[in-house]
Structure 1
Amino acid sequence: MSEIADRYRRRADAFERKVVSVRPDQWSHPSPCAKWTARDVVRHIVDMHAVMLRPLGRSLSPAPTVDDDPVAAFRAARADVEATLDDPALATLPCDTPTGTMPAQQHIDQVVSDDLPLHGWDLARATSQDDTIDPEDVERAWSAMRALPAELMDKFRTPGAFGPGIEVFGPEMQVEQDASAQDKLLAFIGRDPRWRP
């Protein structure tokens, strides 16, 4: 198993545990993402799995919708992405992405895999679960964010820059100088670490 596939599985496992732990009455709870409920957070993640497959000429396998069964919808979507990562021919296939051409596995690693810990925080915070992000993922994301050129970061913060209705990051929030690494990362991407439902 490649390092990318292993990292994706670890993050998907953590996200799935949160999805499974949501009580039926919590799916309509607001999330730290403005305009999104807890269910919408899972819907976004499932939709992004479909986006990862599109450059390969593939789509998600038939499965229950997020409205009908969020757990089954996520499990089916992750199975499709894992099958891609486990197939060397597919994993290394060059894909055209908004940030350039790269192998499919790198696209998955930089987009949906990196999204899982951050949106896992959103889902956990919306549904009163443990919202601790794996310190390894915090450090990895923080290093990657700080290495982004300013013009690309500006594009990430511009609503619609990657398509209608797509907003990658919000405006940077202010946190205390001695805030935790997790809180600094969340603030950098536009989340309020103090947000509560």
Structure 2
Amino acid sequence: MIAERYNARADAFEAKVANVEPEQWDDPSPCAEWTVRGVVDHVIDMHGVMVGRPIPRTGDPLADFREARRQVQAALDDPASATTEVPTPAGPMTVIDHIDQVLSDDMVLHGWDLARATGQDETIPDSDVRRLWDIATSLPAEIIEKARTPGGFGPGIEVYGPEVQVPDGASLQDRLLGYVGRDPMSKNL
């Protein structure tokens, strides 16, 4: 199930990367600190964190993402690697759980960032919206506060931004995005 979820999300993210126009790479994204390229670089970097080594870069974001994905898939396919326990900012967990709970979920939200920044379809699958909503809203208040604090889980790590209020009656996707610090109502980046 975890590998299938990762692959579905990686397929969706890869499709968005493939549809970025050459002139869009330096455009702003909903992540205030990152351009479109920065969002993709972050996701590639997170793949490297999962496999314990940096992903080599060629300068082609699509090729680099595919290589990152290949390396994570190799870790998922190797039972010894997948079940190895690793330290994380949230405490020790297996590589496969770390991929599922951090990287895979991250691709959903950053896929939305990429879509918003480049004019692609921003729809997140309902099953992903529900899963991420249930996870985010079930975290204890002290963890949410830590997640909203830049550097709360370590230097340079920012999990959520400040909550953005959305209108009453907003879709669950928009409520999720607002909860994690994105403004789904604004088209301005």
TM-score (norm. length: structure 2) = 0.96
Rounded to whole Å, the distance in 2 between the matches of 1:166 and 1:60 is 17
Q: Secondary structure at the match of 2:93?
A: strand
Unpaired segments ≥5 residues, structure 2: none
Matching residue of 1:11: 9
Matching residue of 2:62: 71
Rounded to whole Å, the distance in 2 between the matches of 1:150 and 1:182 is 21
Q: What is the total number of aligned residue pairs between the two structures? A: 188
Once the two structures are TM-superposed, the CA of residue 195 in structure 1 deviates from its matched residue by 2.8
Rounded to whole Å, the distance in 2 between the matches of 1:173 and 1:145 is 14
Does the CA contact (< 8 Å) of 1:60 and 1:77 recur in 2? no
Does the CA contact (< 8 Å) of 2:45 and 2:55 recur in 1? no
TM-score (norm. length: structure 1) = 0.92
Matching residue of 1:128: 119
Does the CA contact (< 8 Å) of 2:44 and 2:55 recur in 1? no
Rounded to whole Å, the distance in 1 between the matches of 2:137 and 2:26 is 34
Q: Superposition pairs for residues 171-190 of structure 1, below 5 Å?
A: 171-190=162-181
Matching residue of 2:93: 102
Matching residue of 1:85: 76
Matching residue of 2:107: 116
Rounded to whole Å, the distance in 2 between the matches of 1:163 and 1:4 is 26
Compute the RMSD of aligned alpha carbons: 1.1
What is the one-letter code of the residue matched to 1:104? V
Q: Secondary structure at the match of 2:87?
A: strand
Runs of 4+ deviating beyond 6 Å: none
Does the CA contact (< 8 Å) of 1:157 and 1:170 recur in 2? yes
Unpaired segments ≥5 residues, structure 1: none
Given the alignment of the two structures, is residue 170 of structure 1 paired with residue 161 of structure 2, yes or no? yes
Match of 2:19 among 18, 21, 31: 21
Once the two structures are TM-superposed, the CA of residue 23 in structure 1 deviates from its matched residue by 0.5
Does the CA contact (< 8 Å) of 2:76 and 2:82 recur in 1? yes
* % identical equivalent positions: 59
Q: Secondary structure at the match of 2:122?
A: coil
